[in-house]
Amino acid sequence: MKEPRILFVHAHPDDESIGTGATMAKYAAEGAHVCLVTCTLGEEGEVIPDELRHLAPDKEDRLGEYRIGELAEACAALGVVDHRYLGGPGRWRDSGMMGTAANDHPRSFWRADVDVAGAELAKVVREVRPHVIVTYDERGNYGHPDHIQAHRVASRASSWRPTRRTRTVRSRGRPRSSTRTRRRAPSWRGRSR
């Protein structure tokens, strides 16, 4: 097999280290192409050190800018050299926890059109051509709206993979050509969040 290619889709900076950091580091160290896509800047994250409290969303609202640097350091420590922000840095904003006012922010990732965000991720899928895509389960692992949305977006993007031409052979008769496609992901529009 050529170089294995793995695409990780995470909602916020630090999710990669908390959830899949060991896996990313292992495969990067073994020579795999590890690509990380982060969907938001994590602007609504909890600020623990007192000296950084001024960055919080209810103060200067600059936590996302700070987390760009944190994520770059994490990628370097994990050996990940291919990192991208979905749609570019800051395209979508951290939605905060379920039921908070941050869910209603105009750039909230939770409110992102799945087709639009999926198309952005599909560009990465077409370029990287991963053998495996790793993201959250349909519940976002623990119900975080951005994790749920990352699952939806990754599912949509993976459903848009190019079709493959294959040859099939019937038990009798001549081979025939067919096109095999992946099943289109279900639409989540109209479903309550």
Tens digit of each residue's pLDDT (9 = 90 or more) over 8-53: 999 999 999 999 999 999 999 999 999 999 999 999 999 999 999 9
Sign of CA dihedral 91, 146, 119, 23: positive
Give the integer Cα–Cα distance in Å for 21 and 18: 6
**Token pair in block for residue 148:** 């749920």
Span 173-181, average pLDDT? 37
- SS3 string of 73-103? HHHHHHCCCEEEECCCCCCCECCCCCCCHHH
Span 166-174, average pLDDT? 36
Identify which has the larger pLDDT, 103 or 173.
103
Look-up of token digits 């922010």:
105
Look at residue 154 and tell me whether its pLDDT is greater than 50: yes
